[in-house]
């Protein structure tokens, strides 16, 4: 009897040692993964390239989907009129008429008449035209594009509300009629239900260049960033994406956001891309238009909430590579707070849980959780002091995070080391609250003023508006992913 007990104890001891060794190996892999992100960021970020011939650079159509104005929007949009690139056009998309936004864009267009630009408002658009265009030409355009309203020039816009009359879109295959903004578009069996895709459709159809850039409204862009992205678009590359980061903004909330995107997010984003598991964020993506045209255009992705995931998947499926741009995306929205950041992170986490099972083990790769595991495992295997190991782990992690933040920033930080330490500590501790809320909370997300219930895959059903006012966002009903399980080479980071 004692022999059986001894054998059982020995078996448990062996099993414990095996499990401890596996955890130690995982901790070591995590440390290596962390260092890979730092080294790749050091290699990739802020590296300048000089082309042999500027004339060989292709033209680029920049699509800017806009929803509402904030205090930084004018300055953000102005940076896109000052890009140092030989051939590009700006395509502004407004889901519905907004006088403040229209006036803001028209002021910029008047200030920079040499920059090609078009303005799409709901089902209408305006573009810069030659003054010798006749009314007959405009009539012909209306006949060819009945869903687009043409305003000949910006001088007509003081009476914009009168000129831009809402027009019905033509019905397709017997589906329901649509009004500007709040609608559900069906083309055959294809549903255009993602409001961002719905907003960009007219601009995409009018884009004249072989490359198009989807750029979210809250971004600013350095004058040479588009140039750098275009240089990454070699013959074997189909998509170039910017890693999300933030511009220098005032207030502690801006510091926390910069610390998050420049540390935890940056090291994971860069390490994953270095290993060939592409993690694409759709806030700033330069894409070959031919790749998207081949599958029916941008509307083919309108049924997905994580459209960036599926755009990247399609480009990769066609045999093209995906590359990270040397300059991170500069998020510069005027509306930001700690609460809005945590709500956004919870939403991202919930979506990742539906798109990748790896999201469920994300808490183990955080600094404090991995420090606790490292202390317990090394104490069990080597009898090292668990508190000392954990403290050393957190200290080294803190130093590495400061290094990668400086690398991502590409210059001095806009806050002190003490402010970094406080923001870093809040970010690390709040991560457990974010995971807890995402894992245990209801299977719903709030997006653009509406609440949606998440189902399997990326399927969602609208519940109701989160505000008393009627939203103009199209109803969002996203089908489950049809991508095979073997295609896990792309991990989504959705906004």
Active site (catalytic) residues: 308
Distance CA 475, CA 466 (A): 13
Distance CA 313, CA 490 (A): 7
Pairing of strands 150-151, 60-66: unpaired
Q: Which of 345, 335, 383 is nearest to 366 (CA)?
A: 345
- Give me 82's structure tokens: 């000052």
Are the CB atoms for 262 and 411 separated by under 8 Å? no
Question: What residues are paired with 454 via a beta bridge?
Answer: 460
Helix axis angle for 417-440 and 386-409, nearest 10°, is 110
Q: Where are the beta strands (DSSP E) in 173-225?
A: 185-187, 190-192, 211-215, 219-220
Distance from the first to the final alpha carbon of the chain:
61
The vertex-415 CA angle with 413 and 416, nearest 5°, equals: 105
Are the CB atoms for 195 and 473 separated by under 8 Å? yes
- Give 193: exposed, middle or buried? Use CB within 10 Å, 0-12, 13-18, 19+: buried
| Residue positions counted in the chain | 495
Region at 16 (left for phi over 0; alpha for psi -120 to 50; beta for the rest): alpha
């Amino acid at each position: 009897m004692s022999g059986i007990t001894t054998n059982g104890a020995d078996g448990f001891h062996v099993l414990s040692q095996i499990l401890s060794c596996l955890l130690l190996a995982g901790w070591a892999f995590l440390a290596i993964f962390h260092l890979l992100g730092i080294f790749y960021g050091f290699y990739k970020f802020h590296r300048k390239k000089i082309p042999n011939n500027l004339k060989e650079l292709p033209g680029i159509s920049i699509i800017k989907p806009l929803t509402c104005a904030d205090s930084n929007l004018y300055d953000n949009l102005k940076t896109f009129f000052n890009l140092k690139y030989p051939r590009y056009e700006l395509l502004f998309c407004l889901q519905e008429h907004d006088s403040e936004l229209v006036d803001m864009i028209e002021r910029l267009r008047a200030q920079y008449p040499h920059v090609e630009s078009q303005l799409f408002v709901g089902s209408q658009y305006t573009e810069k035209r030659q003054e010798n265009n006749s009314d007959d030409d405009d009539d012909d355009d209306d006949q060819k594009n009945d869903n687009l309203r043409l305003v000949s020039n910006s001088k007509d816009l003081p009476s914009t509300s009168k000129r831009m009359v809402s027009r019905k879109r033509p019905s397709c295959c017997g589906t329901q009629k649509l009004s500007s903004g709040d609608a559900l578009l069906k083309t055959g069996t294809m549903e255009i239900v993602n409001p961002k895709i719905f907003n960009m459709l007219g601009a995409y159809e009018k884009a004249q260049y072989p490359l198009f850039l989807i750029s979210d409204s809250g971004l600013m862009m350095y004058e040479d960033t588009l140039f750098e992205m275009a240089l990454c678009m070699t013959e074997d590359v189909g998509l170039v994406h910017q890693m999300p980061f933030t511009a220098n903004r005032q207030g502690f909330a801006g510091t926390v956001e910069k610390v998050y995107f420049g540390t935890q997010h940056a090291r994971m984003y860069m390490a994953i891309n270095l290993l060939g598991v592409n993690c694409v964020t759709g806030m700033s993506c330069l894409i070959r238009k031919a790749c998207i045209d081949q599958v029916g255009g941008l509307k083919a992705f309108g049924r997905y909430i994580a459209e960036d995931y599926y755009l990247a998947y399609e480009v990769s499926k066609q045999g093209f590579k995906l590359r990270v741009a040397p300059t991170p995306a500069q998020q510069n929205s005027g509306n930001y707070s700690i609460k809005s950041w945590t709500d956004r992170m919870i939403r991202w986490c919930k979506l990742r849980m539906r798109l990748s099972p790896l999201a469920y083990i994300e808490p183990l790769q955080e600094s404090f959780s991995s420090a606790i595991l490292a202390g317990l495992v090394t104490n069990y295997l080597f009898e090292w002091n668990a508190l000392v190991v954990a403290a050393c782990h957190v200290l080294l992690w803190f130093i590495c995070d400061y290094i990668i933040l400086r690398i991502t920033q590409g210059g001095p930080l806009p806050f002190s080391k003490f402010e970094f330490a406080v923001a870093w500590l809040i970010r690390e501790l709040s991560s457990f609250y974010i995971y807890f809320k995402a894992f245990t909370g209801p299977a719903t997300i709030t997006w653009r003023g509406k609440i949606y219930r998440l189902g399997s895959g990326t399927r969602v059903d609208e519940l109701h508006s989160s505000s008393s006012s009627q939203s103009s966002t199209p109803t969002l009903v996203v089908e489950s992913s049809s991508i095979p399980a073997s295609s896990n080479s792309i991990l989504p980071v959705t906004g």
